[in-house]
Homo-oligomer: A and B are copies of this chain.
Amino acid sequence: MKILVYGAGAIGSFFGGLLSDKNEVILVGRAPHVHAINQSGLRISGLVEKVVYPRACTDLSDLEEQDIVIVTVKAYDTMKAAEAIAGIVGKETTIVSIQNGLNNISILDEKFGDRVIGGVTSIGVTHISPGHIRLAGKGDTIFGSLRKNLERLRIIVEIFNQSGIESRPTENIIGEIWLKVIVNSSINPITAIVRKKNECIMIEPELRDLAREICEEATVVARTSGIMLPLADPFQRVIEVVSATKENFSSMLQDIERGKKTEIDEITGAIVNQAKKIGIKVPINETIWRLVRALSVN
């Protein structure tokens, strides 16, 4: 299969790197990372140790139509990504979003319809240096779609599993995406504000209470919006994720410390906006949203 990863940061490079064993993979990313990969391959360390040699480039010019385009850009860039990839997407191309944030697959769906598959992953990959990433936490990756494109879904799950990426299909991808956003909204903004490792949410009772209340507000928004969450108590997942990533500094905190834009609008902001739409008050999430926006480059 011809697979292009659009937005080859840590996660995108990891998927593309593993898929390159059985497929013709192109990673599209930033210049330093791309040059390092073209020079000496992509080094994966941590729970997997290998060097792989996918093709890498910084833009899409001169590229032909792909079988699969995996979109792994930051959520605030999904709209731009949809436009950028249009030239390499044909009728048979499947577009797979594996991103944070609530609205990615509906943005892609608007442009590409039933060619879109949504994905949610719980693996943890971090960027070490150009050309070098680290698998810090294992987890599974779930795929599903808004429409009846079961054949595309089956193929995506099969291709990922064939390359050793544990995957499964779901009939409730929207519920999975919401659950991930709820969990992210309960962890990342707190760690970004207090500038501590994820473990702070386990260690400090007040931050744990705050995370729980953020989670409860967001859960009410999801349920009132008719979303079937795959867990009765999403806060259980918050605690699982914090336990599994306790030594990590969240990407949102890293973005703030590096003066980069955060995904706060697509995570907490998306929950607050949905709450407004359905007439529910979420004062805690709204407060958190405002504070992180004030801390971020927007």
Contacts and interface: CB of A to CB of B under 8 A. Distances in A.
Interface stretch (A54-62, A98-106, A203-211): A203-211
A204 B195 CA distance: 22
B287 A207 contact: no
Contacts of A291: 190, 193-194, 210, 291
Nearest to A291: B193
A294 B196 contact: yes
A293 interface: yes
- Copy number in the complex reads 2
Interface in A254-298: 283-284, 287-288, 290-291, 293-295
A213 interface: yes
Contacts of A288: 287
Given A284-B283, A287-B287, A294 B204 contact: yes
A271 to B, nearest CB: 15
A200 interface: yes
A200 B295 CA distance: 11
B213 A294 contact: no
A206 B283 contact: no
A292 to B, nearest CB: 9
Q: Number of contact residues on A: which range applies?
A: 20 to 34
Contacts of A200: 294
Contact of A287 (B195, B210, B293, B294): B210
A213 B293 contact: no
A196 B290 CA distance: 14
Contacts of A204: 294
A204 B194 CA distance: 20
A200 B290 CA distance: 12
Contacts of A213: 283, 287
A287 to B, nearest CB: 5
25 contacts: A190-B291, A193-B193, A193-B291, A193-B295, A194-B294, A194-B295, A195-B295, A196-B294, A200-B294, A204-B294, A206-B290, A206-B293, A206-B294, A207-B290, A207-B294, A209-B290, A210-B287, A210-B290, A210-B291, A213-B283, A283-B283, A283-B284, A283-B287, A284-B287, A287-B288
